[in-house]
């Protein structure tokens, strides 16, 4: 897998997590812990994307 396709895949996962966070936040009875965990996953992906992007620049 090339670096650009790997980055694109990470961006897609990040976007899907963004949508999931919004969905869970709107759902009645959603737990703060679940939202927090999703946001942590999203942040890790963002950091990885930024790290890889700066390495290829």
Q: What is the pTM of this model?
A: 0.86
1-57, pLDDT tens digit by residue? Answer: 788 999 999 999 999 999 999 999 999 998 999 999 999 999 999 999 999 999 877
Helix axes 32-56, 3-26, angle to 10 degrees: 160
For residues 17 and 38, the answer to whether their CB atoms sit within 8 Å is yes
Q: Give the chain's radius of gyration (CA, Å).
A: 13
CA 2, CA 36: separation in Å to the nearest integer?
31
């Amino acid at each position: 897998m090339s670096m650009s396709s790997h980055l694109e895949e990470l961006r897609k996962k990040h976007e899907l997590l963004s949508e999931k966070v919004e969905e869970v936040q709107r759902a009645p009875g959603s737990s703060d812990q679940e939202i927090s965990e999703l946001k942590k996953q999203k942040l890790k992906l963002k950091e990885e994307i930024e790290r890889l992007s700066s390495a290829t620049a």
